[in-house]
Every structure is written in C-alpha cells, then in structure tokens.
Structure 1
Amino acid sequence: MGYTLAVIGCGTMGVAILSGIFTRISQESNESSDLPTKFIATVGRSTSIDQLRSSLPSTSSAAKDTTILSGDEGNLEAIRSADMVLLACKPYMAKTILEKQGVKEALSGKVLASVLAGVTMAQLQAWAPEDCEVVRTMTNTPSKIGQGMTVITTIPASSPSTTSSRLTAIFSSCGLVRFVDEKHFNVCTALAGSGPAFVAMMVDALADGAVLMGLPRAEAVEMAAQTLAGTARMILETKTHPAVLKDGVTTPGGCTIAGLMRMEDGNIRATLARTIEAATLHAAGLGQDKK
C-alpha cells in the first residue's frame, strides 16, 4: 500500500536520502511496497525551490513528481499530507519548526523520523503529540549514491510493523542499515556521519604523497580513492579483520612495512581514534540549548 514521505528542511542530507531512494526506484522493475509512492520536500525560502529541484536526479520520474514547498506554511502542508515525516533541517531549527502552530496536530498518528545530529528522542517526543511515533536516525552523504551507512533507534515491539519495514526500505535504498540503542548515536554520528570528511582527508593526503613523488594529481586521487574503496569493500564482504588484511600485504623488509612504520611515527592510530572521540563529544552538544 502506497504512502507519502515528507522531507522537512531538505538540505544536503535530505537530498542524499531522496537521491538514494529515487535511484533505487529507477533501478527496480517491481518497486518495493515499503518505499514511498509520493514525495514532498520543503525548504526555508521559495528562492531555494529551483536549487533543490536541480539537486535531485534529473532522470528520475519520482524526482520530477516530487512536490517542493517552502516556509512555515509549506512545512505544515507537507506534514498534513504525509504518512511519514523525515525531519532533515539543521538541528537548531527542529524546535522552532515542530512548535509552529498546527504542526503538533498535523503529526498526530504519524511517524516522525529525525536525521538530526544531537537532537534526542526525549526532545522530539516533547515537541510531538503523544500519538506520534518518534524515531531517531543518522545517515551520511554517501547515501546519495547508495553507499551510505544509516543507524536507526531500536523500534519497540509494540510499534506497527510498517514502521520498521518502511524505514528499512527507505534507508536500505541508501546503503547499509543498523538498528542501535540511542546511547550509541553520538559515536555513530562521529564515525559514520562525520566519517566521510575524515576519509576524504585521508584520500587527499595519500594523493598528495603520490603527487610529491611525481604522479599527476588526477591519477593520484583516482588510485587513492579506489584503493580505499576496494579495501573497505573487502572488509565488508569477506568479514576479514582490518589487521589481518594489513598483515597480508606486509612482507618482511618490504615497502609496505616501511610506510606503516612512518604512519606509526605520526601516531596515526591515536590521532584517528581521538578524532572520533572529539567528534563524539561535540555531537552530544548539537541540538541542545546553548547556555
């Protein structure tokens, strides 16, 4: 049975999620019954409508049929028309949007799924009506090409089965999905949500090293990115522990061990681990009132 998905405050993450869904729909001859059949997206200003439209896949009929609304009235109309609401605005805007007149009533009996870093279930439940099912999710920008990583708060057994199946269908279109307890969300935000930026910096640094040694920039970036992508895929598909994979490439007296020792000289393990620690602690403060 078809249903309508409204993406409220559709910025970078909203576009990534919608793009993943639209790509999945266009690739499948028999569309999943758990995917939305109608889409509404909202932006803050009417001047942003054309920009959002151009950000969605141009070859997707679902993207072309997506309704785009703007402003507070647009948010309210979208929520009223939707069966499931995906809150994708900036974290600090959540309370303002959800406390606008008429929004609480419009959310009655519906599912509100948030992709906002740092905004807790307790906050969302306080801003939504009691009969609105609140779910917290976190995904990342590779969702745009179907290679994302999404975590969703554990769905209570008492919830309608459609909640879990629909959320799984939506985010599986964007990549891998895991259900986790909310207590892990800040570290998931740091590792997966911020992770693409950390990985991009590593690719850039590896490419810089190759450029330093004479390889043209374009080839250096391509090789660095593909090497990282291929290694990650090996770990996921073969379930090989990263340390085992590393040892398999490292021969006595070879160039790999020479490079690894230089990485250890730079405390790369501690630096990367502390990067996740710092981002996790910062994520805990997002969406909270500043004192």
Structure 2
Amino acid sequence: MNQPTLAFIGAGNMSQAIFGGLIKQGYDAGNIWGSTRTPATLQYLQDTFGIRTSTDNRELIRHADVIILGVKPQGMQALLTELADELQERRPLLISVAAGITVEALDRWSGGGLPIIRCMPNTPSLVGTGASGLYANGTVSPQQRDIADNIFAAIGIASWVDQESLIDAVIAVSGSGPAYYFMMMEAMIAAGEKLGLSRQSATELTLQTALGAARMAQHSDVDAGELKRRVMSPGGTTEQAVLSFEQAGLSQLVEAAMTRCYDRAGEMAEELTK
C-alpha cells in the first residue's frame, strides 16, 4: 500500500478510528500526524497509536501529503481561513469528514484550487464496519482517489458519487442509517420482552439476527427482497409479520423518513456555508 504522510487535524473518535484501522492494516504510524488542542490527548495518541503529534496545525501541513479535516463543522471556516497560506504553499490533498460543509466552501476558505474530497463516514466506522460516501472535485487526481480509497477501506467500505448533491443521499442511507437499524432493534427487543423473553435473551437474539441478516445479504447473489421471500412460506409465521409491516405502510414510512433526512442535510449545508 502506498504510504503518503497523513495529517489529521482534529484527532477525535472518527479520526482515531481511521488511523487506528490503517495501523492495524500495516500502515506505518510514523507516517501519520495528529493534532488536538489538549496536550494530554496528544500524549494518549502517542502512547496508544504511536503516531506523531502536535498542537501546531501549521507543522502538520508542512509534513503532510494528505490532510484529513476532522474538526467540527462550525469551526471549519475559521480553521481553513487561518491556514490558507500554508495550504496554498504545500497544496496537499484535503479530505473533509465534517458533515454539511460543501466542497465549494472548503475550496473558498482554503484559498482555492486545491484537490478536495468530501467524505461522509458513519458511526460503525468506529468498529471497522463503516460505510463512507465520497465526492471529489475536478482537481483530485486518480492517484489521490486511490489514496482515499485505501484510507477509508481501513474502516469499512468506500463508495464514490459523481455529484456532490448525492452526498445528501448518502447521509440519508448510510450516514443516518445506523439509527434506523438501532430503532428497529430497540422495538424488537421490547416486543420480545412482551412476548415473554428475558431482556438478555431478547437482546442477544435480536442483535445476532441483525448481524446474520446483514451477512447473508452481503454474500448473497440475490437482492434483499428475494431473501425476504425465501424466509416466508405461504400461510406461515413470517408471512403474517411481513403482511403486518406492509399494511402499516413500512416502505412508505422509510421513504418519507429518509426524504426528510435528505432535505435537512441540504438545509444544514446552506446554513453552514452561507
């Protein structure tokens, strides 16, 4: 694997998941830098991961081929405006994992003309099973796209979109998606208890069933609808449950919820970058 020098400005949980995953896959910790404002956190990063650290973001830029921006969206404009001169001199690949910040805003705040990738990872990235959507501006080279692929493959899968507006659809599907499944798990566990199972048994059975269903879908050569039909038999138990979901309008409810998520993602982008 090609090992450019990576710098994580804002080394919080998501950044730690990314470079932790890379290191597990053999990436040299000496080629990774991380910055935070807290010296105690920097010491933790050194002790736990063995990466290089600094409280000076300019120092990171001087060393970096790739900069992963992990700061909160509200702080992105001030950060990039402050560092624009150094970024223009070094001209690294910028990868933002901040929700709601458009490539146009990132480009404008950093001085213009830099290769920029906008990425939307999700929380299962913290346990190595993430799903990340990525969009690149026209300045990003094929080699830099490969670098981004390798970075986000360390925490799950990476899927590219060719229009930035589709990042909002990624948010509706995978960015916010874990909450949908957690909600389903929560409901199944509660229903299992009402049917007489202990809390522990209902939880164990629900979580293992969710895991098994996802793995079956990943490894199957048929779609989710066909897998559903294969669990059902005419007049059987699964059929009755599925009919109840259909009569309650589950598909329409999911579509409506995801559309609201999509719309809100667009609104937040306007609020954060205007």
Q: Please report the TM-score for the alignment, with normalisation by the length of structure 1.
A: 0.83
Out of 217, 221, 244, the position equivalent to 1:235 is 217
What letter matches 1:206 in structure 2?
A: M
Calculate the aligned-residue CA RMSD, in Å: 2.5
Secondary structure of the corresponding residue to residue 40 of structure 1: strand
Identity in percent: 27
* Partner Cα separation in structure 1 for residue 42 and residue 252 of structure 2: 44
Q: Relative to 1, partners in 2 of residues 1:139 and 1:254: Cα closer, same or farther, differing over 3 Å?
A: same
* Partner Cα separation in structure 2 for residue 69 and residue 262 of structure 1: 56
Secondary structure of the corresponding residue to residue 100 of structure 2: coil
- Residue 86 of structure 1: CA displacement? 0.5
- Residue 53 of structure 1: CA displacement? 3.6
> Is the contact made by 2:68 and 2:97 (CA closer than 8 Å) also made in structure 1?
yes
- Residue 43 of structure 1: CA displacement? 2.5
Kindly indicate whether structure 1 or structure 2 has the higher relative contact order, using CA contacts under 8 Å at least 6 residues apart.
1
Counterpart of 2:20?
Answer: 19
What letter matches 1:166 in structure 2?
A: I
* 1:210-258, Cα deviation, whole Å (9 max, x unpaired): 1222222223222212212221222222242111111111111111111
Counterpart of 1:112?
Answer: 94
> Is the contact made by 2:231 and 2:238 (CA closer than 8 Å) also made in structure 1?
yes
Secondary structure of the corresponding residue to residue 117 of structure 1: coil
> Is the contact made by 1:141 and 1:196 (CA closer than 8 Å) also made in structure 2?
yes
Out of 155, 174, 179, the position equivalent to 1:197 is 179
Counterpart of 1:39?
Answer: 32
* 1:44-98, Cα deviation, whole Å (9 max, x unpaired): 4445546x649x9x5xxxx1x123444xxx3232223221100111112110111
Counterpart of 1:176?
Answer: 157
What letter matches 1:38 in structure 2?
A: N
Counterpart of 2:248?
Answer: 266
* Partner Cα separation in structure 2 for residue 245 and residue 79 of structure 1: 49
> Is the contact made by 2:13 and 2:126 (CA closer than 8 Å) also made in structure 1?
no
Q: How many aligned positions are there?
A: 269
Q: Relative to 1, partners in 2 of residues 1:47 and 1:289: Cα closer, same or farther, differing over 3 Å?
A: farther
- Residue 159 of structure 1: CA displacement? 4.1
Gaps of at least 5 residues in structure 2 are: none
- Residue 288 of structure 1: CA displacement? 3.7
* Partner Cα separation in structure 2 for residue 215 and residue 68 of structure 1: 50
> Is the contact made by 2:35 and 2:54 (CA closer than 8 Å) also made in structure 1?
yes
Which has the larger share of helix? 2
* Partner Cα separation in structure 1 for residue 201 and residue 20 of structure 2: 28
Counterpart of 1:28?
Answer: none
Secondary structure of the corresponding residue to residue 129 of structure 1: coil
Gaps of at least 5 residues in structure 1 are: 26-30
Counterpart of 2:115?
Answer: 133
Q: Relative to 1, partners in 2 of residues 1:36 and 1:13: Cα closer, same or farther, differing over 3 Å?
A: same
What letter matches 1:107 in structure 2?
A: L
